[in-house]
Amino acid sequence: DEKEKFEPTVFRDTIVQGLNEAGSDLEAIAKFLDATGSRLDYRRYADTLFDILVAGSMLAPGGTRIDDNDKTKMTNHCVFFADEDHDAIRNYAQVSNC
């Protein structure tokens, strides 16, 4: 049996690129995440996926982002950058439940 490599940065780059290409349309984001779920192992990278959907990039212990201010490694389509109202946050929660 060959062990599969654990590469959270490759996973992050794929998810962030897709989110950025989907734009601010939450329906397009949900479709991208649904389609990508069949190719990527969301269970294996659950922590990384959660970090991206909430904070926009991977988080280091302590809560700092691991993106070195590289725009290709972060997305603004996440909870932290959502409008500060109940409906906007609920919409992001619905996307992450898909």
The predicted pLDDT at position 97 comes to 73
Helix (H, G, I), strand (E, B) or coil at 95: helix
Instruction: Categorise residue 62: left if φ over 0, alpha if ψ from -120 to 50, beta otherwise.
Output: left
11 exposure class (CB count in 10 Å sphere: 0-12, 13-18, 19+): buried
User: Tens place of pLDDT for every residue, the chain, 98 residues?
Assistant: 567 788 999 999 999 999 999 988 899 999 999 999 888 989 999 999 999 999 999 999 988 888 888 888 999 999 999 889 999 889 888 887 75
Domain boundaries of the chain, sorted by first residue:
1-97
The predicted pLDDT at position 98 comes to 59
Could you tell me if 65 and 55 are in contact, meaning their C-beta atoms sit under 8 angstroms apart? yes
The predicted pLDDT at position 1 comes to 52
Helix (H, G, I), strand (E, B) or coil at 7: coil
| Whole-structure pTM value | 0.86
